């Protein structure tokens, strides 16, 4: 797989910290505390997007990375709204740089596939930004494998390549195993999967009657609403209890243990909530435990990634 590095040449960490909650569920104080905890655990890769919490995510992240900018790897995303046209990419990227107070970023993702815009236009624009030194790496998020391959050909035609991909991936969302992760490994594309905790389902909190995304957001309730998913979460909880470890730690460690060495994106609303995910940085999952956890959900993986859109 492509080894992405910080500006000072360090490899990106084996986990990625997602700042989607910055300025939303996490206020400035909580966001700063989580950033510091992530850094202390060895994380140097921070993921955001131009529209997260109407820009608050990037604005809060900005001062945190200033003191030692070259040692941090910052990824952001554009194009979730407005498509992947040249004008929209440039407009949103300019907004992103203003919010981050940065001239350039390490990795720029197209946030989702746009079938209304020619791929040559999209990746020609990204190649131009890369050629000017405004981005170091190019990524795609929420693309199907066939969409990545079409985009890869467009990137090649513009003298560049896709370096990173963000698929949904967890013990209850394993569709990426079928084509996306094998494709990424074949194409030497680094994988940074999101939602390794299944919207919080794999933490075990819903079994205890606690609230969260699955009770607060109808999209997530639909996405993780199938009974087998809840059965898998309960079985993971029981495994974790037997081992005296957090199910969160097991879920993140499992998602990071694929042969293609993905670096899952973890996130939280507070340091207390974040800590079990950070613990996965040091947790060594054995082959036997990995196999046992894998057996808790169906294989081959059912195509259920975005049930809320069905």
Q: Which are the catalytic amino acids? A: 52
The C-alpha atoms of residue 276 and residue 261 are separated, in whole angstroms, by 20
CB 129 within 8 A of CB 184: no
Q: Please state whether beta strands 265-266 and 105-110 pair in parallel, antiparallel, or not at all (unpaired).
A: unpaired
As given in the structure block, the two tokens for residue 83 are 């498509």
Please state, in angstroms and as integers, the Cα–Cα distance from residue 91 to each residue in 74, 129, 237, 248, 291, following that order: 19, 12, 45, 38, 46
CA-to-CA distance for 270 and 266, rounded, in angstroms? 12
Give the other-Cβ count within 10 Å of 179's Cβ. 15
CB 73, CB 45: distance < 8 Å:
yes
Q: Are 151 and 140 in contact (CB under 8 A)?
A: yes
Angle, CA of 245, 248 and 249, to the nearest 5°? 55
Backbone phi and psi for residue 194, each to the nearest 5 degrees, phi listed first: -105, 165
Task: List strand residue ranges (DSSP E) for 38-146, in order.
Answer: 45-47, 73-78, 105-110, 135-141
């Amino acid at each position: 797989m492509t080894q992405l590095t910080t500006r000072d040449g360090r490899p990106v960490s084996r986990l990625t910290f997602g700042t989607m909650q910055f300025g939303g569920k996490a206020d400035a104080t909580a966001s700063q505390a989580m950033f510091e905890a992530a850094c202390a655990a060895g994380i140097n890769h921070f993921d955001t997007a131009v529209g997260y919490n109407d820009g608050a995510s990037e604005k809060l992240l900005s001062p945190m990375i200033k003191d030692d900018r070259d040692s941090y790897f910052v990824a952001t995303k554009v194009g979730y709204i407005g498509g992947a046209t040249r004008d929209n990419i440039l407009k949103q990227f300019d907004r992103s740089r203003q919010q981050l107070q940065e001239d350039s970023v390490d990795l720029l993702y197209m946030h989702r596939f746009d079938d209304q815009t020619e791929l040559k236009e999209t990746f020609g624009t990204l190649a131009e930004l890369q050629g000017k030194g405004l981005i170091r790496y190019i990524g795609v998020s929420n693309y199907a494998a066939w969409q990545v391959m079409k985009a890869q050909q467009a990137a090649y035609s513009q003298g560049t390549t896709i370096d990173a991909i963000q698929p949904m991936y967890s013990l209850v969302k394993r569709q990426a195993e079928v084509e996306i992760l094998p494709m990424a490994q074949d194409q030497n594309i680094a994988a940074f999967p999101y939602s390794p905790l299944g919207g919080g389902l794999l933490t075990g909190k819903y079994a205890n009657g606690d609230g969260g995304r699955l009770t607060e957001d109808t999209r997530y309730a639909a996405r993780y609403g199938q009974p087998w998913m809840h059965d898998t979460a309960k079985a993971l909880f029981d495994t974790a209890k037997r081992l005296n470890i957090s199910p969160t730690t097991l879920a993140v460690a499992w998602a990071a243990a694929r042969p293609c060495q993905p670096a899952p994106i973890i996130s939280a609303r507070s340091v207390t909530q974040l800590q079990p995910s950070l613990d996965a940085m040091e947790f060594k999952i054995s082959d036997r435990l990995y196999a046992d956890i894998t057996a808790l959900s169906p294989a081959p993986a059912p195509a259920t990634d975005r049930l809320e859109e069905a």
